[in-house]
Amino acid sequence: MYSVEQVIKAFGKRDAAPVEREKQKPLARCLESLLKGGTVFPSSLCRLADGLLGMMDLDGDAMLFGVSETDRVPSWLTRFQGDLSDVQGLRVLMATVSPENAGALREIVPYTRPQTLGLNPAFGFGDRIGLATPGHAMAVARAEGRILPVFAQQSIREMSRTERTASQVLDDATWGVFRAGWTLPFGADADHLKTKSDVDVTAQAGFVFFTVDPSEYVDQQANDYGRDQIEERFQDLIDGKVEGASDLIKLYRGRTFEIEHGEERFRVIFDEPSLKRAAVKYSQALAHTYEMANHVAKCMSSRPFELEISVDETPQPTSPLEHLFIALELKRHGTSIVSLAPRFVGDFEKAIDYKGNLVLFDESLKQHMAIAEQFGPYKISVHSGSDKLSIYPSFGRICKGRFHVKTAGTSYLEALRVVCRVDKELFKSIVQFARQRFEADRASYHISTGLDLVPEASDLQDGELEKVYLDQEHGRQILHVTFGSVLTEKTDHDYRFREKMRTVLRQNRQLHEDVLRDHLGKHIQMLFMG
C-alpha cells in the first residue's frame, strides 16, 4: 500500500541525485500504486529539489514521469513537455521520451550528459537499434569503475545504414543512462567522421568525442611504389603545397629516435626513402585531419571535446615508422589527440575473433604503445573490437589502461539472439532476408564467409538456429554485414523488421539486458585478465 507521505519524504533538497539502491524498489512500488497502470524502473529514480523524476513502462512504451507537491511545483518539472495532473495532493507529470524531453533531461540531470574521458581506459558500445544502453551499463558495472563506457557511439556510415540521426543516437543513450541509473562519466563518440558536415551534425547533437577518419586521403598504394614513383609523388606534395610537406626533409631526414616504454626499447631511423614513403602515404590525410580538428574546435567553441584519429582502414599494417611520423606531425601542427587507431597486424574481420599471429600482434602493439606514451601521451584504440576476445588479455596488459576499444555489431547480434529465443518465425524471416541481401552488402566489408558455408534457416531445426547463426563464425558474419538492410527494409512505408524487433526487445527487456551483460561483460573481463 502506497503512502503519499513516503513519496514526499523521498523528495530531494538540491541537485539531482539517484535514490539509494536499497530504497529504489520499495519507492518504485509506492509510485506504481500512485500512478496506476505502469511499471516503474527502480534504477531510474532520481531526487531533485522538491520532487522525484523517473521512468516507467506504460503498455510497452517507456515514459518519463515527475512528482512534486501540488502547492510547491519546482521549476524543473515545468521544463518537460507532457501532461500535468493532480493526484491526492501531488502534482504528477507524464511525458514521452521525445527529443525535446531528452534535451531537458540532460540539462536537469547532469549525469545523463556525455563527458570527455581523458586517458582513462574506455569501452565503446555501439547500439544500432537504440535499446541496448541499460544492458551495456550492466556489463560495464562489473568492472567496478576500472573502465569508462562510451554509450553513444555510431559512425556516420552506420547512421546512414540504419536511417538514424546523430540526435536519435544520443537521445537513445540518454534515456538508457537515466533508466539504468548510471551516474559515472560516459562518453559519446561521433565515429569515423570524414567531412566537416559530419562534424556539424554530431557536434550540434551533443557528441563530445570525435573520431576523424582520413582514410580517403591515405595513399593506399604507397607501400608498392618504386623509388621513382615515390620521388614523383613526394614532389607533388610540395608542388601542391600540402601543409607541412616542404619542411619534412629538413626536419626528419637521417634522424634516429630512441623509443623506450617499460622494458620495450627500439630505434626508428628516418632514412630518406622511408621518410618520403611515409609522407606520400599520410601527408594529405594529416592535412585533412588538421582541417577537421580545427573545425571541431570551432563547432565546440568553449565546450570540452576529445579527438581521435583513425588510420586503421588501410590494407597494410601501420609500421612503427609510420606511426611515429603521424605522431610527430600531429604534435608539430598543434593537433592534440586522446587516442589513435592504427592498422594492426592480422585480420579484424567483423563479428568474429582475431585472425593472426598473437605473438606478432603483441610485439607490434608494444611498439605502438611505446610511441603513444613517449610522443603523446594518448591511448591506443582498436576498432572492430567486437568478439576479438583472443587479443583482449594482451591488449589490456600491454596498454596498461591506456586503451580505447570499440564494438558495435556484436550488440546487434545479441539483440537477434533475443529474437531467436523468443520468436523463431521472426528470426527465420530475418535470416532469409539477410541471405538475400548478403552478396550486395558484403561488398564494403573484409570477411571470409559465403552463403554456401551456412545452411538455410528452413533446413535447420529450431534448436539449431541460435548455434548456427549466432555462435558460429559464418552465420554471424552473414547477419552482421546485413544489419543496415534488415533494419531499413520497408513494406508499405513501415519497417518490415525493425519495429517487430524493437517490440520483442521491449517485451523481453530483462532477457535483452542479461544477454548483453553476459556477452559484453565477457569482453570487459578479458581486458583485465592480463
In tens, the pLDDT along 328-384 reads 999 999 999 999 999 999 999 999 999 999 999 999 999 999 999 999 999 999 999
Please state the separation of Cα 350 from the chain's center in Å. Answer: 15
Per the prediction, the chain carries an average pLDDT of 96
Is 39 in a helix, a strand, or coil?
strand
**Residue 182, pLDDT score:** 98
pTM above 0.95, yes or no: yes
* Angstrom distance (rounded) from CA 42 to CA 44: 5
**Residue 2, pLDDT score:** 57
pLDDT in tens, 16-65: 999 999 999 999 999 998 888 899 999 999 999 999 999 999 988 999 99
Please indicate whether residue 308 is annotated as part of the active site. yes
Which grid cell is 113? 550528459
Q: Per the residue annotation, which of 50, 191, 219, 414 is the catalytic one?
A: 191
**Residue 244, pLDDT score:** 87
- CATH 3.20.20.70 in the chain is located at 120-218+279-406
The answer regarding whether domain 120-218+279-406 maps to CATH 3.20.20.70 reads yes
Please indicate whether residue 127 is annotated as part of the active site. no
Q: Are strands 187-193 and 209-212 parallel, antiparallel or unpaired?
A: parallel
Please provide residue 155's backbone torsions phi and psi, each rounded to the nearest 5 degrees: -85, 160
Query: Which of 424, 520, 507 is CA-nearest to residue 131?
Result: 507
Is 271 in a helix, a strand, or coil?
coil
DSSP H or E stretch at residue 95: strand 90-96
Give the mean model confidence (pLDDT) for residues 73-92: 95
Please provide residue 265's backbone torsions phi and psi, each rounded to the nearest 5 degrees: -135, 125
Q: Per the residue annotation, which of 213, 219, 308, 349 is the catalytic one?
A: 308
Q: pLDDT category, 513, cuts 50, 70, 90?
A: very high
Lowest mean pLDDT among 310-314, 512-516, 518-522: 310-314
pLDDT in tens, 392-442: 999 999 999 999 999 999 999 999 999 999 999 999 999 999 999 999 999
Please provide residue 386's backbone torsions phi and psi, each rounded to the nearest 5 degrees: -55, 125
Residue 491, pLDDT > 80, answer: yes
* Angstrom distance (rounded) from CA 64 to CA 56: 6
pLDDT in tens, 114-155: 999 999 999 999 999 999 999 999 999 999 999 999 999 999
Give the mean model confidence (pLDDT) for residues 503-522: 97
Asked if 456 and 438 touch (Cβ cutoff 8 Å), the reply is: no
Asked if 210 and 339 touch (Cβ cutoff 8 Å), the reply is: no
* Angstrom distance (rounded) from CA 187 to CA 173: 10
Packing angle, helices 320-332 and 272-300, rounded to 10: 50
